[in-house]
């Protein structure tokens, strides 16, 4: 049965015991009935602000119960939600809003200068909480992406705002799931899986901000069955003292997915050893949904480093620089083609897809296929470091560096070099008590058995804030261009290992 997303809260409020929790963030909880009534009030408030069926509504709210009242309210208007980081600087927000042209912005910063806006602390007083019967929105979501160029675009998902109550839920999510969302709702995967939990009548437990030990505490407390992480989160959980990590009962946990960023093999091996391979899953694919690969931990152990095989709904090719398919084991650009053809799953606002004349599309990633059809990722073409004619993949270097003692997170970029073209520069967030110079001085020794010498970082930068956001994403182009500008300006931002420093002196 196809159920409009606008009717999901009422559907479960009428079928579950009174007082059943739908959404919880910390001590704040919403029952299904409260979610339904709150969304109805908000929908009427949005309509009073001019929102009509077919419009877009931008949501600039932090993780919390109000976010879900707002997303369901948008569907109850027959409109499409777009989730934005509430902390977007004015310029970035203006660029997105210029493309999207939303009928309303809910939340966000006051300096976004949105022509029609409700503040984040808006309360829909004086509006009826009775049910609504809106038309179904043509697009269930419209998410944003900066892409490799840094220019924003909006990705309209062509699935209408309905859910099939009789269908098998995706990604091993069981009906009535207890699901934990540790990621920011302005990114696609957290937005999707959090709402899927509600579409199947489950309980969603959300974190307002990721915290490693709090994640384990909530899994135990809420008997969480399903969670999606990014590798940064998994690294921070693994970095907890073993006594802390093992102090919590995780026996309820059936599925741990990770996606959205490359996973260091050493870290994945540790998680598989800790929780068991049958519980660890990985997904590779874009918000565009042209195609996706999934691999279980059990499969991964026999195909280490792979992100799996292409699913039944699409096909995948690896194409070389000459425009032809490469042989198994050779690296090229990854292309997808959905079985339903081009424009079947999405279209862009503000950009054009990278599409060949034969309909195959690329997200800009590179990789290789083995003889069995398993995909292994490199990096985005725009992110490769070209050093003396050799291609260096940042993800490979980051995985090795992040394993070193004292390193909490790492991003690698290529900086201009007059002789080699580019050289490898590592931006490191150290653990609180670690010494950046000590990390730099010890890195060559640590990496000697892990990476070829030409891939070693030649300079380091120690930063006090994470170079990746809470969803594991990194604005690599921005970081690279910023540091290239600093180099031209003669600004000091690099740390050289002691041997290199002595040689330079």
Average pLDDT of the chain is 92
Q: In the CATH scheme, what is the code of domain 32-156? A: 3.40.50.980
Contacts of residue 213, Cβ cutoff 8 Å, sequence gap at least 6: 240, 244
Say if residue 293's pLDDT is above 60: yes
Topology (CATH level 3) of domain 385-502: GMP Synthetase; Chain A, domain 3 (3.30.300)
Say if residue 375's pLDDT is above 90: yes
The 10s digit of each residue's pLDDT in 176-235 is 999 999 999 999 999 999 999 999 999 999 999 999 999 999 999 999 999 999 888 998
Closest CA to 310 of 338, 288, 277: 338
Please spell the DSSP secondary structure of 260-305, one letter per residue.
Answer: SS---HHHHHHHHHHH-GGGEEEEEE-TT-S-EEEEEHHHHHHSTT
Say if residue 147's pLDDT is above 60: no
Nearest-Å Rg of the Cα atoms of the chain is 23
Element (H, E) at 217: helix 212-221
What integer pLDDT is reported at residue 148 of this predicted model?
44
Q: Give the count of beta carbons closer than 10 Å to the beta carbon of residue 441.
A: 18
Say if residue 322's pLDDT is above 50: yes
What integer pLDDT is reported at residue 146 of this predicted model?
60
What integer pLDDT is reported at residue 215 of this predicted model?
98
The 10s digit of each residue's pLDDT in 392-451 is 888 889 989 999 999 999 999 999 887 778 899 999 999 999 999 999 999 999 998 888
CB contact at 8 A, 395 and 326 = no
Give the span between the Cα atoms of 251 and 245, in whole angstroms.
13
What integer pLDDT is reported at residue 43 of this predicted model?
98
CB contact at 8 A, 151 and 30 = no
pTM score, two decimals?
0.84
Give the total residue count for the chain.
Answer: 505
Contacts of residue 478, Cβ cutoff 8 Å, sequence gap at least 6: 150
Lowest mean pLDDT among 124-138, 300-314, 480-494: 480-494
What integer pLDDT is reported at residue 386 of this predicted model?
81
What integer pLDDT is reported at residue 16 of this predicted model?
98
The 10s digit of each residue's pLDDT in 220-256 is 999 999 999 988 899 899 999 999 999 999 999 999 9
What integer pLDDT is reported at residue 505 of this predicted model?
43
Higher pLDDT, 140 or 502: 140
* Phi-psi sector, 202: left (phi>0), alpha (psi -120 to 50), beta: beta
* Phi-psi sector, 399: left (phi>0), alpha (psi -120 to 50), beta: alpha
Q: Give the count of beta carbons closer than 10 Å to the beta carbon of residue 194.
A: 25
Domain boundaries, the chain: 32-156, 385-502
Q: Percentage of the chain with pLDDT > 90?
A: 76
What is each CA distance from 291 to 47, 165, 407, in whole angstroms?
A: 36, 23, 34
Give the span between the Cα atoms of 450 and 399, in whole angstroms.
10
- Positive or negative, the CA dihedral 348, 353, 357, 363 is negative
Say if residue 501's pLDDT is above 70: no
The 10s digit of each residue's pLDDT in 67-93 is 999 999 999 999 999 999 998 888 889
> Which class for 280: exposed (0-12), middle (13-18), buried (19 or more C-beta within 10 A)?
buried
What is the DSSP pairing of strand 346-349 with strand 203-206? unpaired
Per-residue pLDDT band for 500 (boundaries 50, 70, 90) equals low
């Amino acid at each position: 049965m196809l159920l409009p997303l606008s009717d999901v809260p009422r559907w479960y409020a009428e079928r579950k015991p009174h007082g059943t929790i739908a959404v919880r963030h910390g001590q704040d909880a919403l029952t299904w009935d409260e979610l339904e009534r709150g969304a109805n009030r908000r929908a009427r408030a949005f309509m009073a602000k001019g929102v009509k069926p077919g419009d877009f509504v931008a949501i600039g709210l932090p993780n919390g119960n109000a976010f879900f009242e707002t997303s369901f309210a948008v569907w109850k208007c027959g409109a499409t939600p777009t989730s934005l980081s509430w902390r977007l600087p004015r310029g970035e927000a203006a660029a997105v809003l210029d493309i999207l042209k939303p009928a309303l912005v809910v939340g966000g910063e006051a300096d976004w200068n949105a022509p029609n806006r409700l503040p984040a602390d808006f309360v829909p007083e004086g509006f009826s909480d009775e049910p609504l019967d809106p038309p179904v929105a043509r697009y269930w979501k419209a998410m944003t992406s900066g892409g490799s160029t840094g220019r924003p675009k909006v990705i309209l998902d062509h699935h209408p705002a309905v859910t099939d109550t009789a269908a098998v839920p995706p990604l091993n999510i069981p009906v009535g799931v207890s699901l934990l969302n540790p990621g920011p709702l302005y990114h696609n995967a957290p937005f999707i899986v959090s709402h899927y939990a509600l579409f199947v009548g489950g309980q969603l437990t959300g974190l307002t901000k990721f915290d490693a030990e709090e994640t384990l505490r909530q899994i135990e407390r809420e008997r969480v069955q399903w969670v999606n992480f990014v590798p940064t989160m998994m690294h921070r959980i693994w970095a907890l003292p073993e006594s802390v990590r093992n102090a919590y009962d995780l026996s309820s946990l059936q599925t741990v997915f990770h996606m959205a960023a490359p996973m260091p093999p050493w870290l994945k091996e540790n998680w598989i050893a800790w929780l068991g391979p049958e519980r660890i899953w990985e997904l590779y694919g874009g918000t565009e949904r042209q195609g996706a690969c999934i691999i279980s931990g059990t499969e991964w152990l026999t195909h280490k480093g792979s992100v799996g095989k292409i699913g039944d709904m699409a096909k995948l090719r690896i194409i070389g620089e000459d425009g032809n398919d490469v042989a198994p084991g050779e690296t090229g650009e990854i292309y997808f083609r959905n079985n339903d053809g081009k424009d079947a799953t999405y279209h862009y606002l503000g950009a054009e897809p990278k599409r060949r004349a034969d309909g195959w599309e690329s997200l800009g990633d590179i990789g290789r296929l083995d003889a069995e059809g398993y995909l292994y990722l490199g990096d985005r073409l725009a992110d490769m470091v070209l050093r003396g004619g050799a291609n260096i993949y940042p993800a490979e270097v980051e995985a090795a560096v992040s394993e070193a003692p004292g390193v909490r997170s790492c991003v690698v970029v290529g900086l201009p070099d007059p002789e080699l073209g580019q050289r490898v520069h590592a931006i490191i967030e150290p653990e609180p008590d670690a010494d950046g110079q000590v990390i730099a001085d010890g890195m060559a020794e640590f990496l000697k058995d892990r990476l070829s010498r030409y891939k070693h970082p030649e300079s380091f930068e120690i930063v006090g804030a994470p170079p990746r956001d809470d969803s594991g994403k990194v604005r690599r182009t921005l970081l690279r261009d910023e540091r290239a500008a600093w180099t031209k300006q003669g600004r000091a931002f690099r740390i050289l290992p002691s041997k290199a420093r002595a040689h330079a002196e």
